[in-house]
Amino acid sequence: MNSSFRLTFICLMDGDLVMNPEHVGVGYLLAVLRREGYECNVLELSRNNHEYILDRIEEFNPGFIGFSLMSVNKKHAAEFGRKIKARFKNTHICAGGPIATYGADKLLNSESGDYIDSAVIGEGEETIVHLVRALEKRMPLKGIHGVCYRDSEGIHVNPRRGPVHDLDSLPFPDRDQFENAGGNLEYIRISTSRGCTSRCTFCSAPNVTNRYSKGMKVWRGRSSENIVKEIKYLVDKFNFNTFDFVDSTYEDPGHIGKKRIKEIAEGILENDLRIYYNCCMQAMNWKNEDKELLKLLAKSGLEKVLVGIESGSDAGLKHWDKRSDTEDNRRVIRLLREQNIYVAFGFIMFHPHSTLIELRENTQFLRENLGHNLRRFGTRLEIYPGTVIEGVLRQEGLLHSSYEDTLDCLAYDYVNDDIKTFANAFASMFGEEYEKDLVINQEPPVFQFETFDIVIHTYLSRLLRFYGEDSNALEVLEEFKSYVKEVYEELTEFNFQLMNTGLDLLEKGTFTKEYFVNQGSYINKLYKEKMDSIQRKQMITSRKLMKMGFDVSIINSKKHDKKIGVKG
């Protein structure tokens, strides 16, 4: 079927999408819609290209415009959505994503959702086809499962639709954003599974069980054969070698999940797919006896893992219903670093129930792990619709009454007002917008450092993959590695003292916002100087290696080349 009804998807360049805009969820929707004969396109919205995007919408003339919404981009989406409504009054605007899935009726009732005509709840591949067919034929939306919609009588929530159980049955997602960028992205995103078996109180994912009927699987994984097939397809089509696996937990669910990812790693190696990839893991799943599996994953190209650490305090971990404890967290960090895998982690330093004791335990934990990254010392809890913590804070009277209208993820009070002052003061070092809304329009050096840290680790780990067996190269690389370690230790101690001194003032009752505000400029200057010094040392290291005859440039290539690909 070929249809004249067109669809445009808007991807907002906010949050982590600034670094890598590819939205794999939208890619799946494009694939299923095109399979049904619909013409679609994707437009990337930044804060300074509104008029350009409006002109592109007018040229394409879609009957449907879709947004994928998160807390960080909902205000920006509303600002632009209202412009669409003013200029294209008959175009249907639909929202999807986490906010829509876990609070569609709240979204459409909120001031941030006044421009939205409908929302897709849950996985959208089947729902969006039924929705678009109804819109094309001007049929009512009442009978379409998985849709919340607005009409003259108000807002209606239709029965929910079950999840896709056989993920292998879905087409591979289309890669419009990757192609539109000329292949010049940090990585291609791949989803190998959906759902999560953990039930962290701050996370929306566990609450998907409340959206589906009993007996339906929450976690579902694609087969290892299907995943390797997609990787091979992307390597062959785009000649690209760097991937980000976007699963909530790559090794879910436990023993079965480890068997699956082992098969994926073996498939990558058997097909000679010399790639690099990132993933997410849970600490409690990894024990000392898993060293061989982690070694295999590293050999297959795993070079970065995000772990949901969340707290350096066992009391804090219990507060979030984490299945891991601090011993698990320390162990997984050690095991991954033994394989030279970069460890990033989620962390919640401040939340409504924070205590001084927990803040000190968190501070000490960060001093021992990733303490050179100042951002981790200041992370604040973000409240998402449908989470357990949202209900708890509402019941305790800590959630602002405005939350229903704004869905502001920071709209809560603290049990201890002084800790709230402390948390917001820390955030104020990076601007008023960041303190209030977590919005960063121009990254300060402290934020740039987070990416810089990964880049430096990638530089070292990839060169060690290629040349680590050569004693001369190894000596040069170890010298650089030692220099970076020394700089990081200086930053770690600075960050610890900055935080610890502030906590001492808090305990004495003499802390004021100016403590952090007055140091903001110096801190950003310090981070810029440290990055510059490491880059200078990196250039010297590269020149030494090149004089020895080693090709340093190969580590920067995202091209898949059998001669220069990943070496175990």
Phi and psi angles of residue 280, each rounded to the nearest 5 degrees, phi first: -115, 145
Helices (H), 194-254: 224-238
**What are the tens digits of pLDDT across the range 383-399?**
988 889 999 999 999 99
Question: Is there a single domain that holds both residue 542 and residue 513?
Answer: yes
Residue by residue, DSSP assigns 463-523 as: HHHHHTTSHHHHHHHHHHHHHHHHHHHHHHHHHHHHHHHHHHHHHHT---THHHHTTHHHH
Question: Is there a single domain that holds both residue 561 and residue 438?
Answer: yes
> How many other CB atoms are there within 10 angstroms of residue 568's CB atom?
11
Question: Is there a single domain that holds both residue 227 and residue 293?
Answer: yes
Task: State how far the Cα of 480 lies from the Cα of 535, in Å rounded to an integer.
Answer: 10
Pick from 153-162, 272-281, 437-446: least confident: 437-446
In this predicted structure, the answer to whether residue 141 has a pLDDT above a threshold of 50 is: yes
**What are the tens digits of pLDDT across the range 294-331?**
999 999 999 999 999 999 999 999 999 999 999 999 99
Task: State how far the Cα of 282 lies from the Cα of 73, in Å rounded to an integer.
Answer: 27
pLDDT bin (cut points 50, 70, 90) of residue 209 is very low
Task: State how far the Cα of 26 lies from the Cα of 10, in Å rounded to an integer.
Answer: 9
Is there a contact between 57 and 8 (Cβ–Cβ < 8 Å)? yes
Alpha carbon 254 to its chain centroid, in Å, reads 22
In this predicted structure, the answer to whether residue 211 has a pLDDT above a threshold of 80 is: no
Task: State how far the Cα of 181 lies from the Cα of 567, in Å rounded to an integer.
Answer: 28
Q: What is the mean pLDDT of residues 198-213?
A: 66
In this predicted structure, the answer to whether residue 20 has a pLDDT above a threshold of 90 is: no
In this predicted structure, the answer to whether residue 565 has a pLDDT above a threshold of 60 is: no
For residue 82, is it within any domain? yes
Task: State how far the Cα of 493 lies from the Cα of 364, in Å rounded to an integer.
Answer: 11
Total domains, the chain: 3
> How large a percentage of the chain has pLDDT more than 70?
94
Q: Is the preceding omega at residue 62 within 30 degrees of 0, hence cis?
A: no
Of the candidates 497, 476, 480, 492, the residue with the CA atom closest to the CA atom of residue 533: 480
Task: State how far the Cα of 227 lies from the Cα of 172, in Å rounded to an integer.
Answer: 10
**What are the tens digits of pLDDT across the range 352-372?**
999 999 999 999 999 999 899
Domain residue limits at 473: 366-568
Question: Is there a single domain that holds both residue 278 and residue 388?
Answer: no
Pick from 138-152, 201-215, 271-285, 378-392: least confident: 201-215
Task: State how far the Cα of 283 lies from the Cα of 276, in Å rounded to an integer.
Answer: 22
Q: CATH no. for residue 133?
A: 3.40.50.280
Question: Is there a single domain that holds both residue 430 and residue 292?
Answer: no
Q: What is the pLDDT of residue 130?
A: 97
More confident residue, 190 or 186: 190
Q: What is the pLDDT of residue 77?
A: 93
Alpha carbon 17 to its chain centroid, in Å, reads 8
Q: What is the mean pLDDT of residues 97-126?
A: 90
End-of-domain residue from the set 157, 173, 202 = 157
Question: Is there a single domain that holds both residue 216 and residue 85?
Answer: no
pLDDT bin (cut points 50, 70, 90) of residue 214 is very low
Question: Is there a single domain that holds both residue 526 and residue 556?
Answer: yes
In this predicted structure, the answer to whether residue 208 has a pLDDT above a threshold of 60 is: no
Question: Is there a single domain that holds both residue 513 and residue 415?
Answer: yes
**What are the tens digits of pLDDT across the range 478-497?**
999 999 999 999 999 999 99
For residue 337, is it within any domain? yes
Task: State how far the Cα of 100 lies from the Cα of 104, in Å rounded to an integer.
Answer: 4
Question: Is there a single domain that holds both residue 469 and residue 405?
Answer: yes
Q: What is the pLDDT of residue 206?
A: 59
Question: Is there a single domain that holds both residue 83 and residue 232?
Answer: no
Averaged pLDDT of the chain: 92
Q: What is the pLDDT of residue 162?
A: 87
Question: Is there a single domain that holds both residue 413 and residue 531?
Answer: yes
> How many other CB atoms are there within 10 angstroms of residue 151's CB atom?
12
Q: What is the pLDDT of residue 236?
A: 95
β-strands 188-190, 242-245: how paired?
A: parallel
Question: Is there a single domain that holds both residue 297 and residue 442?
Answer: no
In this predicted structure, the answer to whether residue 17 has a pLDDT above a threshold of 50 is: no
Task: State how far the Cα of 240 lies from the Cα of 101, in Å rounded to an integer.
Answer: 33
Q: What is the pLDDT of residue 118?
A: 97
Residue by residue, DSSP assigns 256-295 as: HHHHHHHHHHHHHHHTT---EEEEEE-GGG--GGGHHHHH
